Amino acid sequence: MNFYLGIDLGGTNIAAGIVNENYEIIVKHREKTDAKKPFEDIVADIARTGKRAVELSGIPFSQIKAVGFGTPSCINPNTRLLVNANNLGWRNVPLPSEMEKHFGIPVFIRNDADCAALGEALAGAAKEYDSALMVTLGTGVGGGIIMNKKIFNGCDQMGSEIGHTKLVYGGVQCTCGQYGCLESYGSATGLIRQTKEAIVSHPDSLLAKEYSLRLGEIDARTAFDMARLGDSTAAAVVEQYISYLAAGLSTLVCLFRPQVIIIGGGVSNEGETLLRPLNEKLFYSTYAAAEIGVPSAIRATLGNDAGLIGAAMLARV
């Protein structure tokens, strides 16, 4: 049996996993990322982490057929340069070629959200489907589009940026510098902003009292928690947030017609509290839903393993 090394590179951790042909993770190993280090030093840390995962698996390195990377950046297919990794401060760095010097086998690299989508399509929530749309709701809004069990990369092979599709003309400024991106409204960060705005507007609400008890510390769960306790202000925040999300997803459904929508990231932990109203709103906000149907939004199942599996399998798809 052949084995593949998958690496999920983030600003906080480097995760490596050995994956077999059945999409099963044999062993995982994780080390901290020191984002302040020079590029060459971080590359060496990545190589050490990956090689340690191979050692822990007990599999001869000769049986590792390729290395796959998932990283939060676009990849230029012509130059093989990693275009922009904000969490590491990298611009146009030759990560694949440098890693090949360390490993001596082919290295493949894609956006981390694309890798997570591929992992869920091969071994997770969408394994029964040929096409899927995955959206991750975390600090930002990531995502990937899967067609025929392969990542849809577009004509220039630069991949998709779901979080930076436009939702509100002239809306809230996004971290990318543009205004009105889906990320500004559908991310956990966007939900926290909307929660704080509601607290200012409704100082007598249970939501505002909770904010005071927490000394101003709230997160993306706060509005959902207070809504479950019956607070109307929190319920309105959640309803508006899900409406934004449904509007953004409905556009993607009209464009790509996926068989299923996978929801991942921290906000997905709300489960049916999120998914039930989201599916209802998707039906009412999507073109010709009554006539041709709308794909269901379901929860991702693999967690962080999705990115490792998807990255490892880049060589095969």
Same domain, 167 and 257: yes
Which residues, 6 or more positions from 134, have their beta carbon under 8 angstroms from its beta carbon?
113, 116, 117, 120, 121, 126, 143, 144, 145, 146, 261, 262, 263, 264, 300
Same domain, 72 and 51: yes
CA distances, 155 to each of 71, 110, 158, 287, 316 (Å): 21, 15, 8, 26, 20
One domain for residues 18 and 91 = yes
What is the pLDDT, as a whole number, of residue 217?
A: 87
pTM for the whole structure: 0.92
pLDDT at 283: 97
Task: Give the pLDDT score at 155.
Answer: 85
pLDDT at 153: 87
Whether 194 and 282 map to the same domain: the answer is yes
The pLDDT of residue 11 is: 78
Over the chain, what is the mean pLDDT?
Answer: 93
Residues 27 and 170 in one domain: no
Q: Is the pLDDT confidence value at 141 over 80?
A: yes
145-188 per-position pLDDT tens digit: 999 999 998 888 778 889 999 999 999 999 888 999 999 999 99
pLDDT digits (tens, 9 = 90+) for 32-66: 988 889 999 999 999 999 999 999 999 999 999 99
Same structural domain for residues 94 and 158?
no
CA–CA distance, 100 with 60 (Å, rounded to integer):
18
Q: Which domain CATH number covers 11?
A: 3.30.420.40
pLDDT value, residue 117 = 96
| 161 and 198 within one domain | yes
- In Å, the largest CA–CA distance within the chain is 65
Considering the domain architecture, whether residues 112 and 138 belong to the same structural domain is answered as no
Residue 291 belongs to domain spanning: 129-299
The domain tally of the chain equals 2
- Cα–Cα distance measured from residue 14 to residue 147, given in angstroms and rounded to the nearest whole number: 28
Residues 191 and 278 in one domain: yes
Give me the pLDDT at residue 10, please.
82
pLDDT digits (tens, 9 = 90+) for 100-140: 999 999 999 998 999 999 999 999 999 999 999 999 999 88
> Based on C-alpha coordinates, what's the Rg of the chain?
20
254 and 295, same domain (yes or no): yes
In this structure, are 164 and 213 located in the same domain?
A: yes
SS (H, E, C) the chain: CCEEEEEEECCCEEEEEEEECCCCEEEEEEEECCCCCCHHHHHHHHHHHHHHHHHHHCCCHHHEEEEEEEECCCEECCCCEEEEECCCCEEEECHHHHHHHHHCCCEEEEEHHHHHHHHHHHHCCCCCCCCEEEEEECCCEEEEEEECCEECCCCCCCCCCHHHCECCCCCCECCCCCECEHHHHHCHHHHHHHHHHHHHHCCCCHHHHHHHHCCCCCCCCHHHHHHHCCCHHHHHHHHHHHHHHHHHHHHHHHHHCCCEEEEECHHHHHCHHHHHHHHHHHHHHCCCHHHHCCCEEEECCCCCHHHHHHHHHHHCC
- Do 136 and 70 have their domain in common? no
- Specify the pLDDT at position 223: 97
> Residue 4: its pLDDT value, please?
97
